[in-house]
């Protein structure tokens, strides 16, 4: 996300930041190693799910309300974008929060304690991504240059379906992950760097044969520092 100099510039302020983007998404990102060895696909789904963890009801309804009361007034002043600069997101608005009120700080700290090892450096800014009801996130792999090893996300307002597809083998190795409202998901390892990930559109949001009523969704996202 933001480079360290921008992070340092804003660290003393509490108000949200308009993002000068160096995006984590990279639609052209490729795997470094050759993946033709079939050993790479042994127990692929088990490996995927051990690196894509979903914790349902990680926050309460009251905690969700408190987070929304802090972020929504600012988000409502932004317009939804439909032409993301690297073509990764359709129908979104976003910002980054350097400071939170006392109650919400407790929630953010709980996310960090759950997701990151104590010795891992974390970005101080928290990314807030508001996806419109008619919005979706297109398949992409996060860039190693701008993104760390672990991403931890709280989902507000709506359930969603995340689809992960193995790079270059998208039709053979893929899985849909149900991400409920108020859940925390932690993505790391192979899930981050060997799989495309996307959030399905409202029309495509079907999980195990059942329609998922995707609505406007706000993600509260914590990240580790890029290595």
Supply the pLDDT for residue 65. Answer: 99
Residue 22's CB is within 10 A of a number of other CB atoms, namely: 13
The pLDDT of residue 10 is: 39
Q: How much is the pLDDT for 83?
A: 78
**Percentage of the chain modeled with pLDDT above 70:** 80
Nearest to 56 by CA among 168, 174, 179: 179
Residue range 194-214, pLDDT digits in tens? 999 999 999 999 999 999 999
Q: Which domains does the chain have, with CATH numbers?
A: 51-223 (2.60.120.590)
Residue 216, burial from CB neighbour count under 10 angstroms (0-12, 13-18, 19+): middle
Give the model confidence (pLDDT) of 73-129 as tens digits: 999 999 999 875 667 899 999 999 999 999 999 999 999 999 999 999 999 999 999
pLDDT at 146 (0 to 100): 73
| Mean confidence (pLDDT) of the chain | 86
**Integer CA distances (angstroms), 92 to 16, 59, 89, in order:** 16, 23, 7
Taking the C-alpha atoms of residue 40 and residue 166, their distance in angstroms, rounded to an integer, is 11
Answer with the residue of higher pLDDT: 12 or 53: 53
């Amino acid at each position: 996300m933001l480079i360290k100099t921008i992070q340092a510039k804003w660290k003393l302020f509490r108000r949200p930041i308009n993002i000068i983007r160096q995006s984590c998404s990279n639609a052209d990102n490729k795997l470094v190693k050759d993946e033709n060895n079939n050993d790479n696909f042994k127990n692929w789904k088990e490996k995927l799910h051990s690196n894509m963890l979903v914790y349902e009801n990680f926050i309460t309804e009251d905690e969700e309300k408190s987070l929304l009361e802090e972020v929504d007034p600012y988000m409502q002043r932004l317009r939804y974008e439909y032409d993301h600069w690297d073509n990764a997101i359709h129908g979104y608005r976003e910002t980054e929060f350097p400071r939170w009120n006392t109650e919400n700080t407790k929630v953010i700290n709980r996310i960090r304690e759950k997701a990151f090892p104590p010795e891992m450096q974390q970005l101080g800014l928290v990314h807030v991504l508001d996806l419109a009801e008619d919005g979706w996130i297109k398949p992409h792999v996060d860039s190693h240059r701008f993104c760390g090893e672990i991403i931890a996300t709280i989902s507000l307002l709506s359930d969603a379906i995340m689809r992960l597809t193995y790079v270059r083998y998208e039709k053979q190795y893929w899985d849909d992950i149900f991400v409920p409202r108020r859940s925390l998901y932690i993505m790391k390892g192979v899930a981050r760097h060997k799989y495309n990930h996307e959030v399905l559109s409202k029309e495509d949001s079907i999980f195990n044969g059942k329609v998922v009523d995707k609505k406007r969704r706000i993600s509260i996202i914590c990240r580790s520092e890029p290595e």
